[in-house]
Chain A
């Protein structure tokens, strides 16, 4: 399958995908200034610190933006069209925005600002079975 899966052992993100396997969302937090630094960087842009603690997030998440992709713009993604990519922000992780997908059988599209739940489902959800797990929102 040529679905564009992530590389679960790509070093800067190994902790992230290890968390997803356990149905947890974890983001790197600077050990010295406590700021979340996302995407991962070698050093904290706030204080220059180089030690990060991957911290589990379980608080509220909200839709920051979204779109509805009605036709395939990239052939490997064709099996999931139409789909709704979203950017999500977290109340207890300021500065973190996660790119995800909206999976909700009850409504085709979300609204900005809407509170959402994180769900862990197959990368191809709802229709395609890939055997790999991703964090989605609904």
Chain B
């Protein structure tokens, strides 16, 4: 297990994950509007009001009116999400809305466009909003609400086999993955630190980031003692309040919208056979991006070399590192050496050997919007209006992640 394992090894092994069967929807959907509220520490703000604010900004960005909206996506099963009733109440519309609860953030921030494509095909909706809102900083401060650990705490097998041994919450899962990744591949703390440092650097010059104007050097990172070995505080995502939304429509309708066209070129979703039981994932240090990324590239007709800007769901530095490997940007196990130095900086383009990554700061330093801000950032990059603009960004890829589920979304500025 010490040697770097190749793609061939995995493909020959008994299947440990599978793709969700998707029809080819290349070019059928465009993202025409993006919006975010301020991302903050505990604010006491109402999550529904925050979602409404983000949606209003996104519609304005697209040059659309609330009456134009006939579809709404949100995350089913999560508290305080924005529903059709909220939409009509906040925007004073009476139009019936096509509703889909397979939206929201995390992996679904990358697959909502697939559900939208199906709705567009079937004529169920023509202008579709996907929104996500979270006030976990406020909940954490007040001690109310479920917070990020609730799902894992309440799942019966975890509650009986993991929680009693202290295998909870998420930092414990990912610390163990980091420990194992270090054992298998020789990954170092400084290499994980490179991801944290670059993310902070991007956030420091991003006006919407919680960590704007805040810096972190690699020396400062290494001087911070681990609190759950080998993870340090800067290896872990922020907990913050905020909302974001994006608006989708057909590529034809998109041409009438206000901003340059950004289309969905490819997407895919995959599941690890171990589900959300990380301890039982056959390949503990590999994510289902191994399956979803190649499928999304195939639909888009691209290879990893064509990706100008990358946004990865990064609850922990190790989660970003594993996905960078699994999405094919370097050999499996070589991610540590790959991310060293300024490789991930927005200033170092692919042509210069870089891989601009989480140019807004990600979950580590922008906000805890669970991937929605990642997609928002990619759209801004592909329009050429990002705070940390990557030169000539034409293809942007989002790697989404939720437990054993991953998604890969390929966006392109080229019509």
Do A and B come together as binding partners?
A: yes
What 0/1 pattern do residues 64 to 88 of A give for CB contact below 8 A with B?
A: 1111111101100100100101010
Q: Complex formed: what's the CA distance from A69 to B229 in Å? A: 7
A69 touches B163 (CB 8 A): no
Say whether B93 faces chain A, with CB atoms less than 8 Å apart: no
- Which residues of A37-76 are within 8 A (CB) of B? 38-40, 45, 64-71, 73-74
Q: A69-B228, A112-B183 are in contact. Are A85 and B159 (CB under 8 A)?
A: no
Taking a contact as CB atoms closer than 8 A, the residue among B162, B183, B231, B282 that contacts A99 in the complex is B162
Closest to B277 in A: A39
* Pair count A-B, CB < 8 A: 101
A84 smallest CB distance to B (angstroms)? 9
Q: Complex formed: what's the CA distance from A7 to B155 in Å? A: 13
* Interface size range on A against B: 35 or more
A109 touches B229 (CB 8 A): yes
B161 touches A85 (CB 8 A): no
Chain B contributes a number of interface residues (CB within 8 A of A) equal to 36
Chain B residues near A80: list those with CB within 8 A. Answer: 166
Taking a contact as CB atoms closer than 8 A, the residue among B160, B230, B279 that contacts A13 in the complex is B160
Say whether B156 faces chain A, with CB atoms less than 8 Å apart: yes
A83 touches B166 (CB 8 A): yes
Chain B residues near A113: list those with CB within 8 A. Answer: 183
Say whether B164 faces chain A, with CB atoms less than 8 Å apart: yes
Say whether A131 faces chain B, with CB atoms less than 8 Å apart: no
- Interface 9-mer from B134-142, B171-179, B399-407: B171-179
Q: A68-B229, A100-B165, A101-B165 are in contact. Are A74 and B156 (CB under 8 A)?
A: no
Chain B residues near A83: list those with CB within 8 A. Answer: 166
- Which residues of B253-293 are within 8 A (CB) of A? 273, 277, 279-280, 282, 284
Q: Complex formed: what's the CA distance from A71 to B166 in Å? A: 12
Chain B residues near A101: list those with CB within 8 A. Answer: 165-166
Chain A residues near B176: list those with CB within 8 A. Answer: 65-67, 85, 87
Closest to B173 in A: A67
B172 touches A6 (CB 8 A): no
Say whether B66 faces chain A, with CB atoms less than 8 Å apart: no
Closest to A109 in B: B229
B165 touches A65 (CB 8 A): no
Say whether B90 faces chain A, with CB atoms less than 8 Å apart: no
Q: Complex formed: what's the CA distance from A64 to B229 in Å? A: 15
Q: Complex formed: what's the CA distance from A4 to B159 in Å? A: 8
A123 smallest CB distance to B (angstroms)? 6
- Which residues of A75-116 are within 8 A (CB) of B? 77, 80, 83, 85, 87, 95, 97-101, 109, 112-113
A residues neighboring B (CB under 8 Å): 3-7, 10, 12-13, 16, 38-40, 45, 64-71, 73-74, 77, 80, 83, 85, 87, 95, 97-101, 109, 112-113, 123, 134
Known: A39-B277, A83-B166, A99-B162. 14 other contacts (CB 8 A): A6-B160, A7-B160, A13-B161, A39-B280, A65-B176, A65-B180, A67-B231, A73-B169, A74-B168, A87-B176, A87-B284, A98-B161, A99-B279, A123-B164
Show 18 A/B contacts (Cβ-Cβ < 8 Å), sorted by A.
Answer: A4-B164, A5-B164, A10-B156, A10-B160, A13-B161, A39-B277, A65-B177, A67-B231, A68-B229, A69-B172, A70-B227, A70-B229, A73-B172, A85-B166, A87-B176, A100-B165, A101-B165, A112-B183
Cβ-closest 4 pairs across A and B: A67-B175, A6-B160, A65-B176, A65-B180
B residues neighboring A (CB under 8 Å): 149, 153, 156-157, 159-169, 171-172, 175-177, 179-180, 183, 225-231, 273, 277, 279-280, 282, 284
